[in-house]
Amino acid sequence: MTTSEFLFRNNRRRFLKTFSLAMGTAALGAPLAFGQFGTSPQRKKLGIALVGLGNYSTGQLAPALQETDYCYLAGIVTGTPSKVTEWKQKYNIPDKNVYNYDNFDQIASNKDIDIVYVVLPNALHAEYTIRAAQAKKHVICEKPMATSVEDCQRMIDACNKNNVKLSIGYRLHFEPHHQRVMELGQQQVYGPVKNIEANFSFVTDDPDQWRLDKELAGGGPLMDLGIYCVQGATYTVGQTPAAVTAQFGKVTKPTFFDEVEETITWQMEFPGGAVANCSTSYNGRGNRLFGRATKGSWELNPAFSYSGIQGKTSEGPMNLPNVNQQARQMDAFANCILENKQTSVPGEMGLRDVRVLMAIYEAARTGKKVMI
C-alpha cells in the first residue's frame, strides 16, 4: 500500500459513513535487562527521525527525546504540512531535516539522522522499515511489527542486507516492574511458573479511526493491545508458546466493529507447562498482568500503561520506581548502535509475536488448537 493510498483509506471509513447517512527465537525470551547503558561521557548523541506525528509521537516519543542521554529528536516525517511549523519551532528542527512521504528516501544523505522510528499504522510498518534500511538508517518499528509474518521477514532481511539494526518498540522491556516480572518468572524465584493471566482493554469511542480498519490495522484489539498480553506472558516464562486456543467475543457495537474483532480471549500453552489466560477488547476495561508459581505469585495492576505501573508479590509491594519508558527504550537502542551490540527487542522477537497473533486469529476462526 502506498502512503497516498493510506491517506485515502484513513478517511475512507469516515467518508463512507457520512455518505451513507446522506444517501440513506526459536524461543525468544527477553533477556533480563537490569544493567542499562554504557557510561562513556564523551559519546555523541544519535539523531532520531520520527516517521508519523500522531498521538504517540506527539504525546510520548517527542517529549521522551528531551530526556534521553544517547539520542535526540533530529528530524520528522509527516504527510500533514500544517504540523511542520509547530514541530520545527517547538523542537528546533531545521528545514533540511523535515521530510514527507514522497521525499522520504532522500533521508539517506542526511548525516544528522542515524535512526528512523516508524510510528505509522501497522500496515505501513514494513514499507517504511524497508525504505529506512535501504537508506542505511537504523530502525525502531512500533509494535506490532507488521500485519503478516511474511512482511516481518522482509523487514529483517532488508535490515540485514543493509547492515543496520532493527528494534521493535517494546517499551516495557525497559520498565522496572516488568523487568522484575522477568526475573521472578525466568529465574523461578518462587519456583516454576504455573499460571499467567493478562488483560489489556479499553473502550474506544471513535468508529472512524484507522485501528478499526482491517487493512490498515491488520486486526482489532489483539494487534493493538493483546500483543502486550502475549509479550507479558512470554517474557514471564522466557519461552515461546507451543500452542494456542482462542474465542471471539460477541459484537455489541456492529457500527464500530464491522471489520475487526471487538473482543477476543485466548489461552497459550508453554513448553515448561505454564498456561496463560489472556483477553483484550476495544469495549471493556482491563490492565493487569498476573503470575503464579509453585511457591508464590505476583501482579502488576495497572500493568501496561505509560506511567503509574504498580506491582506486588505474595511477599508485599515491589516498591520500584516509575520511569520514562520511551526514553529508556530509545536510549537502550542508541547505546546498542554506539557499542555495536544486539538489541534485547530485535526484529526476530517481533516476527515471533506476529506469528503468535496470527495463530490466535486462526484458533478463534477455526475453534481448534493451533500449534506454533
Tell me the backbone φ, ψ of residue 122, rounded to 5 degrees: -50, -40
- pLDDT computed for residue 22 by the predictor: 33
- pLDDT computed for residue 47 by the predictor: 98
Joined grid coordinates for residue 69: 542521554
Joined grid coordinates for residue 297: 505469585
CATH number of 34-171: 3.40.50.720
Rounded-to-integer distance, Cα 370 and Cα 372, Å? 6
- pLDDT computed for residue 42 by the predictor: 47
Rounded-to-integer distance, Cα 267 and Cα 273, Å? 13
Length of the chain: 372
Dihedral angle, C-alpha 220, 307, 73, 83, nearest 10 °? 60
- DSSP conformational letter for 369: -
Rounded-to-integer distance, Cα 169 and Cα 350, Å? 9
Domain 176-321+346-371, second-level architecture: 2-Layer Sandwich (3.30)
Rounded-to-integer distance, Cα 292 and Cα 301, Å? 15
Closest-CA residue to 302 (of 230, 173, 227, 201):
201
Contact 185, 291 (CB under 8 A): yes
276 in the Ramachandran plot: left (φ > 0), alpha (ψ -120 to 50) or beta?
beta
Bridge-based pairing of strands 138-141 and 115-118 is parallel
Joined grid coordinates for residue 141: 518499528
- pLDDT computed for residue 32 by the predictor: 46
Residue that is written with C-alpha cell 474465542 in the block: 247
Classified as helix, coil or strand, 112 is: coil
Rounded-to-integer distance, Cα 115 and Cα 178, Å? 26
- pLDDT computed for residue 44 by the predictor: 86
Contact 99, 76 (CB under 8 A): yes
- pLDDT computed for residue 3 by the predictor: 57
* Span 256-285, pLDDT tens digits: 999 999 999 999 999 999 999 999 999 999
- pLDDT computed for residue 31 by the predictor: 43
Rg (CA), the chain: 20
Joined grid coordinates for residue 322: 516509575
**Residue spans of the chain under pLDDT 50:** 4, 7-8, 11-42
- DSSP conformational letter for 60: I
Residue that is written with C-alpha cell 499460571 in the block: 195
List the domain boundaries for the chain: 34-171, 176-321+346-371
Rounded-to-integer distance, Cα 366 and Cα 21, Å? 35
Written as one string, the DSSP assignment of 310-337 is -EEETTEE-------HHHHHHHHHHHHH
- pLDDT computed for residue 5 by the predictor: 52
The model's pTM is: 0.91
Residues tagged active-site: 143, 228
